[in-house]
Amino acid sequence: MSAIDLARKSLKAHEGYRTKVYQCTAGKNTIGYGRNLDDKGITQEEAETLLDNDIVECVKDLATFHWWNNLTDLRQAALIDMRFNLGPSRFRGFVKMIKALEMGDFTEAAYQVLHSNYAKQVGIRAEHIAEALQ
């Protein structure tokens, strides 16, 4: 076993793995295997990897809707954005929008996005999503 492999094993054992941010003994916001978010943060490459993983998760979830594969790339991209922002359960709260998508009524789907509390909260993001859905 190499020094890196040995160190990895030791660090995992000593640090432990946490999926959520916690405060380490020094009071620093930390995640994973002891990543100090306050002092080190994450690199852009790491952020890109996290984003890619989250997009894959969104697509897997959205693919459970039978109408998903019939959408254009632009409509799929808009819904990925919305699903990413809302999470799975809040996305499913858009019952009328989802019903409109199921019926192929993209004007109504866009209307439902624009006339929601979500649109009031995210502003131009909702406008971009609605425009892509039409």
Active site residues: 15, 24
Report how far residue 129's alpha carbon sits from residue 110's, in angstroms, rounded to the nearest whole number. Answer: 8
Report how far residue 46's alpha carbon sits from residue 61's, in angstroms, rounded to the nearest whole number. Answer: 23
**Token digits of residue 35:** 């990543």
**Token digits of residue 98:** 């989802």
Report how far residue 86's alpha carbon sits from residue 40's, in angstroms, rounded to the nearest whole number. Answer: 28
